[in-house]
Chain A
Amino acid sequence: MAVEKIVIIGWGRMGITHTSIINGLYPGSFEFTLVEPNSKVSKMTQKTLGYSVVSDINEINVQDAVVLITTPPSIHSLLCDNVLSGGARSVFVEKPFGLFDKRVQDDSRISVGYVLRFSEVAQKLKELISEEGCLKISLDYSSHTLTKPPKGWRNSAYGGVLNEMGSHLIDLMLYLGGGQEFKVISSSIQSVISDVDDIVSVKGLLGDIEVELSLNWVNPDYRKPVWSGFLETSKQSIRFDQQSLDGGFESDSVDYYVRGRDFSLQMKHFIENDKSIICNSKQANSVHDVITKIKEKA
Chain B
Amino acid sequence: MKLILGDNQFFGVNHADLKKAAMTRELFSTHTLISDFIKKSLSIGLDGFMINSNDLGFKVVEGFDFKNQNVECHYSIPYPHKYAGMVNDSGMIALISLVLKQLRFRDVFTVLKFALSYNVVHLLPIIVRMEIPKSLPKGSIVYLQNVVTDLTMGLKNGDKILSAYINSVKSMGYKPGLITLNPANLIDALKNRHSEDEVYLCFNINYSGFNVFPSISKVEKAITDAKDATNWKLMGMSVFSSGSRGISIKDSIQYIKSLRLDYVVFGSSKLSNIEKNINQFNE
Q: Find chain A residues with CB under 8 A from B161 CB.
A: 48-49
The bracket for how many chain B residues form the interface is: 35 or more
Q: Find chain A residues with CB under 8 A from B118 CB.
A: 43-44, 46-48
Q: Check if A151 sits within 8 Å of B89, measured CB to CB.
A: yes
Interface stretch among B14-22, B38-46, B260-268? B14-22
Q: Find chain A residues with CB under 8 A from B214 CB.
A: 253-256
Q: Find chain A residues with CB under 8 A from B16 CB.
A: 243-244
Interface stretch among A19-27, A89-97, A126-134, A269-277? A19-27
Contact of A256 among B85, B93, B182 (CB under 8 A): B182
Q: Mark B80-115, 1 if CB is under 8 A from A, else 0.
A: 010011011111110010000000000000000000
Q: Check if A32 sits within 8 Å of B156, measured CB to CB.
A: yes
Q: Check if A20 sits within 8 Å of B155, measured CB to CB.
A: yes
Q: Check if B150 sits within 8 Å of A154, measured CB to CB.
A: no
Q: Find chain A residues with CB under 8 A from B96 CB.
A: 40, 44
A43 vs B244: C-alpha distance in the bound complex, in angstroms? 46
Contact of B88 among A43, A154, A221, A243 (CB under 8 A): A154
Q: Check if A41 sits within 8 Å of B154, measured CB to CB.
A: no
| CB closest chain-B residue, reference A228 | B18
Q: Find chain A residues with CB under 8 A from B154 CB.
A: 19-24, 256, 258
Contact of A48 among B25, B121, B185, B210 (CB under 8 A): B121
B280 within 8 A of A: no
Chain B positions within 8 Å of A, measured between CB atoms, are 11-13, 15-18, 22, 25, 81, 84-85, 87-93, 96, 117-121, 147, 150-158, 161, 181-182, 185, 210-211, 213-215, 244
List the 10 closest A-B pairs by CB distance, nearest first.
A20-B154, A24-B154, A47-B118, A257-B181, A48-B120, A257-B213, A43-B118, A47-B119, A255-B214, A258-B150
Given contacts A13-B88, A19-B154, 20 further A-B contacts (CB under 8 A): A20-B153, A23-B155, A24-B182, A32-B156, A41-B92, A47-B119, A47-B120, A48-B157, A49-B161, A151-B90, A221-B22, A222-B22, A223-B11, A226-B18, A243-B15, A243-B18, A251-B210, A256-B150, A256-B182, A259-B147
